[in-house]
Structure 1
Amino acid sequence: MEDPLTSEEVLEMVEMAKKHKEEEEVTDEPQTVGKELTIPKLREFMQHVNSATQSALQHDPDMECNMQVVQALNQAASPYSQLLDQLIMAQQ
């Protein structure tokens, strides 16, 4: 069994815990540096979605399965598609 902690050791541990907590609070802020949804980035994303749907349609012989995949991909990408449309309209 170890010896009990001295008051200096306890104070040191408390200080370390405080510093650790402060560091965590700083890193808990959202990391948005360099992230922005622009028209070109949204177009590129939608091209990837379209490519995936076309691939499913071309290569999967199970029509029911590939239609489910296409529908799911389109539904999942819908918020980005709508945002792209809004950004294009605002730009005009």
Structure 2
Amino acid sequence: MKRLGVKDGDHVKVTTRFGSVVLIAKSLKRIGSSGIAFIPYGLWANQVMGSETDGTGMPLLKGVPAEVEPTKERVSTIEDLVKSVMHR
């Protein structure tokens, strides 16, 4: 987070080839490795994960390359997420 100039509570935009979402940054010491981020499963994570299974029947849920950047945008609400899905 230090490398990005982000502190706990700051807003960050996470973007993958599947989409993007604005979240609140929170440092977790147990992750312990620079360059690793974690988003709990749910609507927000679904915005940046694809449905491709590569023949396994299970979508890629870990190891998804992403860009993370500080932002002044507001955190994505459930309403925002539902609208984005409806317009796909």
Bin the TM-score by the shorter chain.
Answer: under 0.3
Q: Which structure has the larger Rg over C-alpha atoms?
A: 1
When the two structures are superposed, what TM-score results if normalisation uses the length of structure 2? 0.20
TM-score if structure 1 supplies the norm length? 0.20
- Structure (1/2) with the larger helix percentage: 1
